[in-house]
Structure 1
């Protein structure tokens, strides 16, 4: 879904330590309009599609904080193709992919511990302002700034001017902000003043006057019906709404109840923000189980298996309130075999963490994640083809690789810049065939993406929106042995360093005999390749080499 952007700035903050996940209010029935903002998580209402949190922030001094033009995180993968109401042609639109956990927090002074997704209050002091005045504000991807004060000038033909950050923020000011993107690697979280509160059927944007319908709803009559519901029910409610795909075919009362609930939730957040001082958490999205049920569950699912009794009870209560027709499909898993093993999930997870993925034909792809981009290489491997033409074999391998590449991108949740190195094809029509297959396969992806054509080097670049860590970064941590490099120094390199160090320390070492402690692999090389004699010649005395399996492969010491 698309939503227009406004002028309030988006801030980027340094990563924070995760704190305890706050509880969300009790979920009311659809006819109830006023939600509670406290209670057990399992009683939460369908209040937030975004996993991005809301935060009240006060402007504070932070060397690592930057200002960006706002991007409105629409917490649904569905982009809106239409607008309802007044013409907004001067306002550019921005789309966001699947978000992360949602919460609200108030900040003032020191950074508090919080969940990656939250709404906060932050204080930006003089250093922040000086940076802004030097023109260090930047734009969020896919969004541009728009401010009401510049609109008359634009309509009159004069160029629009973007106000300085000092005109929008002042020291000590408290803001309600939402975490639009959780910390990834060395990059801090991104926060925005444009709050989005997703429900089951609509997404509420209290700061943006925009009405839209999900692009995935293709029936014109249904779109017209949903438009009329939005227009009639919005009277008296500030901000805007986007109808989600789940609203297709739903009654007017169900959609209006969702709209009223989200509006009242926003009022409750505002009231809470007035009573607390920054920093403070104001709201947090549903937990992972309820988010999956709210955002993913549909009629295509045959069974919902749960292997924990407490989680099963929460699932049942959730379905009873919001999807009673799906209640018979919820089952409690009681077998002795672990549920992941029973459904072959463990094996698939292990495969998803390995760089090499085999294709059915015998070819394979290699996936390497780096800080800057993701590189995917396609190889024929053991596949020789059934044709005498090498070009046909290459094309078949590339076409088979396309399906697996798209599957791995979604399975591993790869984002950012993805560069695919297909096997070189000589004929232009074959390259076009592979590109068409790639574009067709990527259509099922719910995250915003863009595919660039083959370049002069035979590479295809895919940009995919990333709001959270990939599967590998989520389940794994850098290797403590190689410190994440993926390799260690060879034995010969370590021996060369030992000989160099011996020359430096020859005069400083005392005693008639020198003891060298090394890793067993290095000790074996010393004894078998004649390096021991060279070392004794450098030191001018006998050397006793001892192996220590607890010593790091690259470490050594003289005694």
Structure 2
């Protein structure tokens, strides 16, 4: 599988496209104004305690208070609160946690009113960005993610990704981390650390420890509801999580971003530094690599499949609904079941892509074409599950019901990627009406008066829609002939099929457009 990353940088932010075998599978928008990125740590102030929800609303500077549930406090929240109070009071000087006596874990079934009080300050981390009418969702169980490991304060546990199966490798990684991690810090060893040496693991962990020290230095002076520590930008986060030997190219259109990304890739994976390329072609980067066309074809309400079938995707406040239609794929009664199965498999592959591409979260209900054989339903379920393996968001897929419905739940941490693919009609400007065609010739002749009489242009060409060209040239004494008698020169009329019915332009003798 060949992977490419295309980064379109603009003054407002960056749009990042991930391609697998030239097909668009993920699209991310990174806005410069977005201050509430997953992973950012804020100094929150408790605004309301809600005993009925066993949760609190926290002020982190957003227009709506953020939500913090008791279960998201983390077992060592008392140690976090204790550290915050001591650091801001000036009685704790160390940058690490070696001088801190950890408190007991909180009761898993306790009440939030036993832990937090109104107006109390607590460092919190963005777990979900603001979505729709909701503010951010928070966690007080802080963690700082790196490429190979995740640093977890107030813990001594070393966890290893379940995807690393070899016991020998798990033991080796555990010994590496045990030898370099500081006291009162836990570590989660990520899947990509498999096979990595001591030097790479140590460098990654030291970078995370340095970030924690920055957090400790900023904590005393940070005002309530302000950011203490920011996550790296979306591009670097994406590279940190998915960069591997499968990547062939990373194309960037902005020199400064190019240098940043090249430096970051050099730090996390020096052998891949040369895959970062600066886009110098005059065509926009997304058009040059075919991304723009894929975006337009993939984000509409209807998504066409290669075999003639299509998907209809609808969104509601509670869930997303995807309907699979066979379209012009017809079959006789004998192979109707096989035809339905093939269409459903084709749809399953595209649905897995659409979920990643649009970052659709929550509940997704898919209405596949009915199949009568249980073996086909089972095989479709397995096929969809295999196609969803590459999805990094947590998800659960339920087997097809007897009505052919498949239910999927998918983790939602950011707003859904929603791109409008319909364009405003250039003729009617979205009004649904155009000006009277009988006045079109009057408009053209008024411009002749300006161009030929006032500007004294010679040898001009009128470009119009083919229908208008036929109207102008029809008859023995055509409209074109009348213009010759009136203005004393022959005006060429040229048809352009791409023009709208009422669109017209004038070209001079050098075939340059005359600006009116």
For residue 286 of structure 2, the aligned residue among 332, 340, 344 is 340
Tell me if 1:194 matches 2:181.
no
* Pairing 1:159-198 to 2, within 5 Å after superposition: 162-198=109-145
Q: Give aligned pairs, total.
A: 363
Question: Shift in Å at residue 64 of structure 1?
Answer: 13
Higher RCO (Cα < 8 Å, 6 or more apart):
1
- 2:236 is equivalent to residue 249 of structure 1: no
2:203 & 2:110 partners in 1: Cα distance? 38
Partner of 1:359: 305
Q: CA deviation at 1:317?
A: 2.3
Shift of the 424–219 alpha-carbon distance from structure 1 to 2, 3 Å rule, reads same
1:383 counterpart (326, 329, 340): 329
How much has 1:144 moved relative to structure 2? Answer: 10
Structure 1 pair 442/265, CA: closer, same or farther in 2 (3 Å)?
same
Aligned to 1:5: none
1:387-466 counterparts in 2 under 5 A?
A: 388-466=334-412
Q: Equivalent of 2:46, from 45, 54, 59?
A: 59
Q: Distance in 1 between matches of 2:77 and 2:232?
A: 34
Residue pair 2:49, 2:55 contacting (<8 A) in 1 also: no
Q: Deviations over 1:178-235 (max 9, x none)?
A: 111101112221011111101121101114443111223233322221011122223x
**Deviations 1:469-506 (CA, angstroms, capped at 9, x unpaired):** 1211xx459999xxxxxxx9xxxxxxxxxxxxxxxxxx
Is contact 2:253–2:280 with CA below 8 Å preserved after alignment? yes
- CA contact under 8 A between 2:286 and 2:292: conserved in structure 1? yes
Shift of 1:335: 0.9
Q: Is contact 1:202-1:244 (8 Å) kept?
A: yes
CA distance in 1, matches of 2:369, 2:267: 52
> In structure 2, how many angstroms separate the alpha carbons of the residues matched to 1:56 and 1:478?
42
Whichever structure has more strand as a proportion of its residues is 2
Counterpart of 2:180? 233
* Distance across 1 between alignment mates of 2:176 and 2:53: 40
Offset at residue 316 of structure 1 (A): 2.5
Partner of residue 150 from structure 2, selected from 186, 196, 203: 203
* Structure 1 residue 145: Cα displacement: 7.6
- 1:4 aligns with none
**Deviation string for 1:286-330 (max 9, x for gaps)?**
123322332222211112211111111212322333332222222
Residues 65 and 55 from structure 1, CA distance in 2 versus in 1: closer, same or farther, beyond 3 angstroms?
farther
**Which residue pairs with 1:13 in the alignment?**
none
Match of residue 491 from structure 1: none
Distance 2:142 2:73 in 1: 17
Provide the TM-score with structure 1 as the length reference. 0.59
Counterparts of 1:357 and 1:292, CA distance in 2: 26
Q: C-alpha distance in 1, partners of 2:171/2:38?
A: 29
Q: Is the 8 A contact 1:111 1:279 kept in 2?
A: yes
Instruction: For 2:75 and 2:143, locate their aligned partners in 1 and report how far apart those are by CA, in whole Å.
Output: 18
Please give the residue correspondences for 1:191-340 in structure 2 after superposition, counting only pairs within 5 Å.
Answer: 191-234=138-181, 236-340=182-286
* Aligned 8 A contact 1:145 1:162 in 2: no
Mark the runs of 5 or more structure 1 residues left unpaired by the alignment: 1-19, 22-49, 70-106, 117-121, 125-136, 150-159, 481-487, 489-559
CA contact (8 A) 1:178 1:193 kept: yes
SS in 2 for 1:274: coil
Bigger radius of gyration among the two? 2
- Structure 2 CA distance for partners of 1:62 and 1:190, relative to 1, 3 Å: same
Q: Is the 8 A contact 2:126 2:136 kept in 1?
A: yes
Contact 2:41 2:228 in 1 (8 A): yes
Question: Helix, strand or coil: the match of 2:151?
Answer: strand
SS where residue 471 of structure 1 aligns? coil
CA distance in 2, matches of 1:52, 1:404: 30
CA displacement at 1:282 relative to structure 2: 0.7
Q: How many angstroms does 1:139 deviate by?
A: 6.5
Deviation at 1:389, TM superposition (A): 2.4
Shift of 1:434: 1.2
Structure 1 pair 226–145 and aligned structure 2 pair: CA distance change class (3 A): closer
Equivalent position of 1:533 in the other structure: none
Residue 112 of structure 1 is matched in structure 2 by 61
Q: How far apart, CA to CA, are the structure 2 residues paired with 1:257 and 1:411? A: 33
User: Is the 1:61–1:123 Cα contact (8 Å) retained in structure 2?
Assistant: no
Distance verdict in 2 for CA 1:233–1:265, change over 3 Å = same
> How far off is 1:386 after superposition?
7.5
Aligned mates of 1:111, 1:477 — CA distance in 2? 35
Shift of 1:68: 4.1
Deviations 1:118-169 (A, max 9, x none): xxxx999xxxxxxxxxxxx9666xx7986899xxxxxxxxxx7722222101
| Secondary structure of residue in 1 paired with 2:178 | helix
CA contact (8 A) 1:414 1:470 kept: yes
